[in-house]
Amino acid sequence: MQKSKVENVLGEIDILIYEARRIPLSDYIVIDCREISSLIDDLKDAIPSEIRESRQLLQERERIIENAKAEAKSIVDLATAERDRLISEHNVTRMANEQAADIIRAAQQEERTLRSNAMAYADDIFNYISARTDEMVGIIQKVHETVQQAHQSLHEERLRDG
């Protein structure tokens, strides 16, 4: 699976933090504010596209459900039409009723199966999107904390240096 733009930007932020100059005798690092600001801007640009992709997946789910409903209705309509045709023939009335009932049951079962599969697919997509969104929010919060620490460190360093 290809990495998303958000994952790529987060990877760049991780590298920037990892390669940052350490401040001796502390847990602080020095990060170029322009670089981190640029990466945060890239992240802000990427997140809406991830959300758009999520919306597209949800729309795809809705399309699948609608197609399943239409297909099931079509099957039921065909079964009903076939039943009506068979009933009109006097010598096969009993057989026609049995066959039509079987067709309707099969169509209803197919409808239930298609609907169940579509709902399971939609649920999987939603869970995936939810997990990815939660993961991204956690990573963004960590990056934000790191940037704040770096900014505070720079501020304290400037105050010491006068």
Q: Cα(147)–Cα(127) distance, rounded to whole angstroms?
A: 30
pLDDT at 34: 92
With left for phi above 0 and alpha for psi between -120 and 50, is residue 25 left, alpha or beta?
A: left
Return the CATH number at 76: 1.20.120
Residue type, 90: H
pLDDT at 92: 62
Q: Cα(98)–Cα(82) distance, rounded to whole angstroms?
A: 11
pTM of the model as a whole: 0.36
Q: Cα(80)–Cα(105) distance, rounded to whole angstroms?
A: 11
Tokens of 77: 């309509």
pLDDT at 2: 64
Domain of 21 in residue numbering reads as 5-161
pLDDT at 29: 86
**Cα separations in angstroms, 16 against 10, 146, 150:** 10, 11, 12
pLDDT at 160: 84
pLDDT at 90: 60
pLDDT in tens, the chain (162 residues): 567 788 888 889 889 888 889 888 888 888 888 998 998 888 888 777 777 778 888 898 899 889 988 988 898 899 888 878 766 766 567 777 788 899 899 889 988 998 888 888 878 878 888 888 888 888 888 888 888 888 888 888 888 886
Number of domains in the chain: 1
